[in-house]
Amino acid sequence: MNPEEKIRISFRLNGREVEAHVLPGETALHLLRERLGLRGVKEGCGIGECGACTIVVDKKAVNSCLMLAAQLHGCEVLTVEGLESPVGLHPLQEAFLEHDAIQCGYCTPGMLLSAYALIVSRGVPTREEIVRALAGNLCRCTGYHQIVDAVQDAARRMAGKEEGRW
């Protein structure tokens, strides 16, 4: 394949169908942030160490800087922009605000999405599970205690609610 030849992909992004033509080496991060304008997907380190670029693909947290855009084909993709519902903030977003788990906000989208993927897979996780799930997300401003407390609180709020009603 010619490295300049674009590949047609389609996927579900934040609840809506999207089509794009991507280069073989283009990252999911570049497609989402630069071409589709989703500014919540941030580049931090570019090597999968900081978690600022975290997105949820098929209910799993992934580093979009390490994923090729072509790999999104046929997937369900969630960015932080897709968390908020027409009725307001997602319980995770509310809990982060209430627990002062946000400082500069650069890491927050990645933290929210890693936490979301954990809660979707585990329900109400233990503190240890939360710490493990967030280990790939670095924050330079807050202590992690507020973030872990916020995730625990949100998981409890979400327990028993139907997905999609948040």
**What does the domain layout of the chain look like in residue ranges?**
7-82, 91-158
Query: How many Å apart are CA 136 and CA 38, to the nearest integer?
Result: 21
**Residue that wins the pLDDT comparison between 48 and 140:** 48
DSSP 42: -
Confidence band of 6 (pLDDT split at 50, 70, 90) = very high
CATH number of 7-82: 3.10.20.30
Query: How many Å apart are CA 9 and CA 40, to the nearest integer?
Result: 22
pLDDT 10s digits, 34-53: 999 999 999 999 999 999 99
pLDDT 10s digits, 52-65: 999 999 999 999 99
Query: How many Å apart are CA 26 and CA 10, to the nearest integer?
Result: 15
Q: Which CATH architecture has domain 91-158?
A: Orthogonal Bundle (1.10)
